[in-house]
Each structure stands twice: as structure tokens, then as C-alpha cells.
């Protein structure tokens, strides 16, 4: 039986780790808030009281954490992954972080015997629950092949996109497209409502034409109901758009629409709405349009 150390049992990590348990893997889970560990144990996993405990004896280590500093602390820290993982272990870093961070982890692992992949995901909480995430993987081809059986449990689409850091670069592009699409769907919904159109019917016909997209399919109903229960929080997408802007600047690429959406997301964050779903961009469109949010 393959043993997996899973670090980060948040909105995405908990169902992902749970799917590995259901598939028959021996999974030791760690999270800074112990309540998530208790919930994981109640669903059949093993609880760990520290990163070191989760990592020791693991064939595969998966990290699913909020940001680059969290990942660096967990992986590179004195009691972190590289200090405790066995030689030959495979670290699959599935958080969304800077491409430079992914490359640094791979470089720091050189000489430790630990192999590293950056494998960020797209698909939100529901994709994590259903095991249908899209996983973009950067690293050595042989390591991607070794991780295949695990990644196929977590995702419906698993693609090796290039060397270390490439997975994070593709994820940045993903977040750029998702944020822009949410903003346009939000603007369209407010536009339709202002004209007194039956918005549910309008969304249905829009989804069937060239304007159809996954945001309309998966987010529009919640947006119409003003239900912004987080599947992916504003604060995380705000962070991700910062990654996009920094990476674009490094490459000399201009992303004018992306920059505009980044500012709108930053406004939501500054107003204290970081805990809402990123589809809450709709409420900002209402505010800018002089309409009282429903």
C-alpha cells in the first residue's frame, strides 16, 4: 500500500485527501487547525500532529496550502518536508504559488533524494469532491509517470505541461481567464436585470451559444441568488492575480484586462469580502452601477 502524507486539509485539501483514502491509500493528514484533522480522521484517514509526522515513512507527500510563504515554510523549514521525507519520496506540490517558488523547491530538493512536482489544480471545491480536477503538472517526465495513479484519482484531466514551474505558469493563466470570465458574467447579469429580463432564461440560452462557459454553468445560479458561499475565496483569487501580474511583468507581457480585474478583486478584498466566493464580483458591479446589492 502506498503511504501518502497530505499537508493542508482546507476546502480543497480535505476532499482530495478523502478521495485518496476511499481509493485505498494509507493517508496521514496534517493541518494547522486540528478540527480539520479530526474531521479527516472521522472519514477514515490517519491524523498527524506535525508536518514531520505526516511525512515520515510516506512514499508520496502532497501539499495543498494557501500561498508561497506557507509552502516554503512547510517544505523548506527546519521541521519541514525536505528535512523529514525519505530519500526517493515524491513531493507533489498542489498549491497555487509563484512559478519561481516551484522552481526553488525543486532546486532545494536536489541532493536530498526527494523528487518534486508542481501540480496546481483547477475545478474548485466541487471538482475536489468529485475527483474531477484539472491538474497541470511541471517537472521530470519520469516523476509525472510515477505520480500518475495518485493524480488520476484526484483529477479528470492530468497533463504534463513542462519542466519545474510550468504547472504554476499554466495555473496563473487559468486564474487570469477565470477571473476575467467571472467579471464578464457578473456584468452581463447586472445588465440583464437592469433591463428587466428573465435572467434565468437568459443565462440558459447564453450557456447554449458561443457565450457558453464553465462559469455560466457552475457559478451563474449562485450569482443570481446572491449566494456567495465560498468555493474559492476572493482572498485567494486576489493572491493569484498578484502572481499573474508579477509573472507577466517578468516576461514583459501586457495583460490590461487582467490588470483591471485584479484591481476589482483587490477592491473586494479591501472592503472586507475576502472570505466570499470570487463570484462576489457581482456585488461590486452592482455597487459601481449605483444599485443596492440584493
The pLDDT, as a whole number, for residue 294 is: 74
Using 70 as the pLDDT threshold, list the residues of the chain that sit under it: 1
The pLDDT, as a whole number, for residue 231 is: 87
The burial class, CB within 10 Å (0-12 / 13-18 / 19+), for 72 is middle
- What does the pLDDT look like over 41-61, one tens digit per residue? 999 999 999 999 999 999 999
Q: Would the CA dihedral through 247, 249, 250, 254 be positive or negative?
A: positive
Nearest to 258 by CA among 191, 187, 189, 181: 181
The pLDDT, as a whole number, for residue 183 is: 98
DSSP sequence for 68-110: HHHHHHHHHSTTSHHHHSPTT-EEEE-S---HHHHHHHHHHHT
The pLDDT, as a whole number, for residue 62 is: 98
Q: Rounded to an integer, what distance in angstroms lies between the CA atom of residue 120 and that of residue 108?
A: 19
The pLDDT, as a whole number, for residue 1 is: 60
The pLDDT, as a whole number, for residue 292 is: 83
The pLDDT, as a whole number, for residue 264 is: 98
Q: Rounded to an integer, what distance in angstroms lies between the CA atom of residue 83 and that of residue 48?
A: 16
**CATH number 1.10.1040.10 given to 169-288:** yes
The pLDDT, as a whole number, for residue 244 is: 97
- What does the pLDDT look like over 117-165, one tens digit per residue? 999 999 989 999 999 999 999 999 999 999 999 999 999 999 999 999 9
Residues known to be catalytic: 171
Nearest to 251 by CA among 176, 183, 178: 176
The fold of the 3-162 domain, in CATH, is Rossmann fold (3.40.50)
The CATH 3.40.50.720 domain(s) of the chain lie at 3-162
137 φ, ψ (degrees, to nearest 5) = -115, 130
Q: Rounded to an integer, what distance in angstroms lies between the CA atom of residue 288 and that of residue 87?
A: 55
- Contact (CB, 8 A) for 170 and 102: no
Amino acid at each position: 500500500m502506498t503511504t501518502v502524507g497530505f499537508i493542508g486539509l482546507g476546502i480543497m485539501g480535505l476532499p482530495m485527501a478523502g478521495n485518496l483514502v476511499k481509493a485505498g491509500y494509507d493517508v496521514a493528514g496534517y493541518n494547522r487547525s486540528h478540527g480539520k484533522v479530526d474531521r479527516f480522521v472521522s472519514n477514515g484517514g490517519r491524523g498527524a500532529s506535525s508536518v514531520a509526522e505526516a511525512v515520515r515513512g510516506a512514499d508520496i507527500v502532497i501539499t495543498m496550502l494557501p500561498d508561497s510563504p506557507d509552502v516554503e515554510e512547510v517544505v523548506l523549514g527546519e521541521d519541514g518536508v525536505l528535512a523529514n521525507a525519505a530519500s526517493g519520496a515524491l513531493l507533489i506540490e498542489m498549491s497555487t504559488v509563484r512559478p519561481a517558488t516551484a522552481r526553488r523547491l525543486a532546486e532545494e530538493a536536489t541532493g536530498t533524494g526527494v523528487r518534486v512536482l508542481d501540480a496546481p489544480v483547477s475545478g474548485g471545491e466541487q471538482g475536489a469532491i468529485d475527483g474531477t480536477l484539472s491538474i497541470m503538472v511541471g517537472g521530470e517526465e519520469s516523476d509525472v509517470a510515477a505520480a500518475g495513479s495518485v493524480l488520476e484519482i484526484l483529477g479528470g484531466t492530468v497533463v504534463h505541461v513542462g519542466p519545474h514551474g510550468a504547472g504554476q505558469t499554466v495555473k496563473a493563466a487559468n486564474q487570469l481567464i477565470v477571473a476575467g470570465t467571472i467579471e464578464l458574467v457578473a456584468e452581463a447579469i447586472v445588465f440583464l436585470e437592469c433591463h428587466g429580463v428573465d435572467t434565468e432564461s437568459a443565462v440558459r440560452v447564453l450557456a447554449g451559444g458561443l457565450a457558453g462557459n464553465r462559469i455560466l454553468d457552475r457559478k451563474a445560479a449562485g450569482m443570481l441568488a446572491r449566494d456567495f458561499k465560498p468555493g474559492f475565496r476572493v482572498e485567494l483569487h486576489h493572491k493569484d492575480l498578484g502572481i499573474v501580474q508579477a509573472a507577466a511583468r517578468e516576461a514583459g507581457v501586457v495583460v490590461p484586462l487582467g490588470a483591471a480585474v485584479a484591481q476589482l478583486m483587490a477592491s473586494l478584498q479591501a472592503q472586507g469580502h475576502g472570505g466570499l466566493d470570487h463570484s462576489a464580483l457581482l456585488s461590486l458591479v452592482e455597487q459601481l452601477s449605483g444599485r443596492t446589492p440584493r
